Amino acid sequence: MPTSRNGYKKSFEERKLETSFRYENAAAVPYSMDWRKKGVVTPIKDQGQCGSCWAFSIVASMEGITQLTIGALIS
């Protein structure tokens, strides 16, 4: 059973050591990136009154990922 289920909370020091992930070259990362200029964002869609903004955001992120991986912007 994970220790978090028995009420134990790790300290900040313990949590920050949990990952071994490191960026290869963080200095090469741009300060900002406009995905619209790179053609990765589809046009805005009208959800009307259905209240499904969460679904629209998920689909939009998948559209962007699809464009980045296979080069096709599907809307």
pLDDT digits (tens, 9 = 90+) for 44-67: 888 888 888 888 889 989 999 999
Separation between Cα atoms, residue 32 and residue 29, nearest integer Å: 8
What percentage of the chain has pLDDT greater than the value 90? 8
> Can you give the pLDDT at residue 2?
59
Closest CA to 74 of 65, 35, 50, 46: 65
68 vs 2, more confident: 68
Q: Any idea where the domains of the chain sit in the sequence? A: 8-70
Q: What is the pTM of this model?
A: 0.53
CB 43 within 8 A of CB 75: yes
pLDDT of residue 72: 86
Count of CB atoms situated within 10 Å of the CB of 31 = 4
Q: Give the position of tokens 């220790």.
A: 3
- Of residues 39 and 4, which shows the higher confidence score? 39
